[in-house]
């Protein structure tokens, strides 16, 4: 814009929404908590929009360690592809600490639908195939299937077939 050049921003609208939220809330003085993988490019991008202090929390252990001034407002957002159940668990841990907390579930609804469907398939399947484990979104389905307790291992050669032992 500055130089009069045209461009098209193809950032996912869900991610753009998070950028606007953290910019607005951090400008108001809130401490931003981003639930997600600190090494993920989306999370790193979200951090860049924070106008003040922020914390990235990846798991329950990080949430337990989270400690800021009790007078500080906290705004919680999430990486769009983060596991919804883990998000809920982490938010619960933070909420119990008594902060003035605003929680915005910014998990993409398509991600949540895929994770829910994976859980349903895992419950009633003897074999579940999760293709393209190297693709980030597919890797979020694999743990969902394992969480059901029905899946016992991953075939090492193929790395994409999950076996369930029949009892």
Range list of β-strands (E), 12-163: 31-35, 54-57, 73-78, 100-103, 127-129, 153-154, 161-163
Which of 42, 64, 71, 144 does the annotation list as catalytic? Answer: 42
CB atoms within 10 A of CB 62: 17
What is the rounded CA–CA span in Å between residue 26 and residue 13? 20
The number of residues making up the chain comes to 167
Q: How far apart are CA 43 and CA 37, in angstroms?
A: 7
The answer to whether 23 is a known catalytic residue is no
Active site residues: 42
């Amino acid at each position: 814009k500055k130089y009069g050049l045209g461009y098209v921003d193809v950032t996912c609208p869900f991610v753009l929404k998070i950028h606007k939220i953290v910019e607005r809330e951090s400008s108001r003085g809130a401490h931003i908590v981003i639930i997600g993988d600190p090494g993920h490019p989306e999370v790193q991008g979200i951090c860049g929009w924070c106008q003040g202090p922020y914390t990235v929390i990846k798991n329950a252990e990080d949430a337990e360690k989270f400690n800021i001034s009790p007078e500080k407002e906290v705004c919680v957002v999430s990486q769009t592809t983060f596991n919804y159940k883990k998000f809920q668990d982490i938010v619960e841990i933070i909420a119990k600490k008594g902060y003035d907390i605003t929680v915005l579930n910014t998990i993409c609804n398509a991600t949540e639908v895929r994770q829910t469907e994976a859980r349903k398939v895992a419950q009633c399947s003897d074999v579940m195939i999760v293709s393209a484990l190297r693709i980030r979104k597919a890797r979020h389905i694999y743990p969902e299937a394992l969480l059901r307790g029905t899946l016992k291992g991953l075939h090492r050669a193929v790395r994409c077939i999950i076996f369930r032992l029949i009892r």
